[in-house]
Structure 1
């Protein structure tokens, strides 16, 4: 029996993956774009923290996360390599449709580039799946030793703050990103009951709170770069952005297309980069803003009516819909 969906959470994920897709279509160097960077990915860590479960032990937990994160990562990695071959023979790079030339040795990126902390070619956004796996495992281990939620939250922030102060960068397999994002996951876990069981709040109050959050992160985005990059601003602005998206999602509850792609945001994350180049090429007749909007609409529609339905029907074990590796004991 399928679990009942929490609609505003699907909408929050849909809004977030929409921002990711829009960023990859075109990044405008504006204050608004800077503001969006504060919370675009942290929201995913936060939402994952909300739904953290220990299962029956570290083994079952690890297997579950391998099914949900590592197997999809390997699947999207191989699909990216095959897409690269197709683009190579269709001369997409020479035609300006894609931005990176194909190399046959890209198949080894998982051992070479990732070990240097670099993204893989053709499908860089899937780095997040590895990072989220690391965050889950680290949180589980920390949870074993720390039973008090407040101390656990404090420890998570200590890890994140020290990682920023240490200037961690380009660690193998995105460990630096995982450590810095760790507090967002912990806050999601700490606030899970508040987020999921809170009483109804008037839409006016939710929109007002969202507007205040946006005003704050917009102000943070206007700060000079050294000030903006401090751990205080990083976490406070990130959490404000998360609060903004959750408030808007709670007020709206559901937007059919956005909520749908939010429900299957992992599929969108893994496949959208294959469409970005072709869509920009197709809509190259439009202005930059028109190209931006038309490309997003086309990608969202293709995801809703073609790519997601095909993925969940024919590749459920590789898109986190079903478990490829069975748990020793069924949960």
Structure 2
């Protein structure tokens, strides 16, 4: 069934229910916000942020992952049902995860065999078991934990929303369930700090935070996805407000000044149910506020939107590229801050170059990029397209 455009200034409850079944178009503010978000992801893994886990690290981590789950909620649509949705998202999220990490594992095994190293045998088995387990502690490139987890969290969010909307059109119930999920997730996050005996026996000694694919994080991440779904229209139509930016920035700064709380979902850290959630909420608002301003100027809009469109490749490759560049620069330059800035720019630039190469090379495109559906293009939360 095709629904007509809804011109209401304040959408009805029925409108939110229908949105699960309707495809939507792109929006510059969202693309710019995504570009800002992925920049902070790279900066959060840069020496400027990671050495001694300074205040910059705490500030970035307090909102940058909640921002991406919120953005994912804005794009949460299943016009052809949950199964088709899952197939589409498998192409945009799971396919690059398995292709990249499998290729990396094969290269590591070949290198070990040719060089006579010790990564063959059991360690090879451990590598691929870790790949299937799919958390930051069990995979080679830590940042990729986000991909399989986003996949299952999106599906869980869809099921939750459809279940609620089958019973009631009242948004209050959706908000209540999202808050309940967030509370459950925060209260139980410490339960997943210790390795299970099975994981340790299969993958050797080490930390194995969380359940496979970060399933233990679903209550937290799905709550941010659901709020993104609920606030999609206001977020897309957001107009810049200087008082709103000042107030939200003031609250954000005050929270970080008086408290030392942050969020690190990969490390299973959610320091405070109230403070950390307020930091995440104000950080998301600040990002959208700045994006709504910058999208009016092509000088800022075009590069940031381009970054947002290349989010997937930046997420996948920035860690390796940034680390290697920083290590190499240390041998030729004693200026750590300059080295950090150069390695950050290098990792983003090369990731985007790899993305452009993949778009132009047939087999790389099939292996790493979501394939366009025949009828229409539905853009996903990482800037690609999925059916």
State TM-score, norm by structure 2: 0.71
How far 1:309 moved relative to its partner?
A: 0.4
Residue number in structure 1 paired with 2:366: 317
What do residues 150-204 of structure 1 show as CA deviations (whole Å, max 9, x unaligned)?
A: 3123212212211221234222221122322221111101101111134x335x3
Say if 2:266 is the partner of 1:218: no
Say if 2:177 is the partner of 1:155: yes
Say if 2:44 is the partner of 1:23: yes
Structure number with greater Rg is: 2
Contact 1:10 1:259 in 2 (8 A): yes
Inter-partner Cα distance in structure 1 for 2:287 and 2:113: 42
State TM-score, norm by structure 1: 0.82
Say if 2:335 is the partner of 1:293: no
Inter-partner Cα distance in structure 1 for 2:262 and 2:99: 41
Contact 1:46 1:186 in 2 (8 A): yes
How far 1:118 moved relative to its partner?
A: 4.8
Contact 1:160 1:183 in 2 (8 A): yes
**Local SS of the residue matching 1:68:** helix
Contact 2:130 2:139 in 1 (8 A): no
What do residues 89-122 of structure 1 show as CA deviations (whole Å, max 9, x unaligned)?
A: 999xx9xxxxxx9666346535346538553443
> Match for 1:307 among 335, 354, 365?
354
> Match for 1:262 among 303, 308, 322?
308
Structure 1, 261-270 or 23-32: larger mean CA deviation: 23-32
**Local SS of the residue matching 2:80:** coil
Inter-partner Cα distance in structure 2 for 1:266 and 1:255: 19
Say if 2:59 is the partner of 1:35: yes
Q: How many residues are aligned here?
A: 315
**Local SS of the residue matching 2:45:** helix
**Please, which runs of 5 or more residues in structure 1 have no aligned partner?**
95-100
Structure 1, 44-53 or 17-26: larger mean CA deviation: 17-26
- What is the 5 A alignment of 1:46-65? 46-65=70-89
- What is the 5 A alignment of 1:1-331? 5-26=26-47, 27-28=50-51, 29-82=53-106, 84=108, 105-106=123-124, 108-112=126-130, 115=133, 117-147=135-165, 148=169, 149-166=171-188, 167-169=190-192, 170-198=210-238, 200-202=239-241, 204-205=242-243, 207-209=245-247, 211-219=249-257, 221-222=259-260, 229-253=271-295, 254-284=300-330, 285-304=333-352, 306-314=353-361, 315-323=364-372
What do residues 240-276 of structure 1 show as CA deviations (whole Å, max 9, x unaligned)?
A: 1111111111111134433312111011111222212
How far 1:9 moved relative to its partner?
A: 1.7
Contact 2:78 2:85 in 1 (8 A): yes
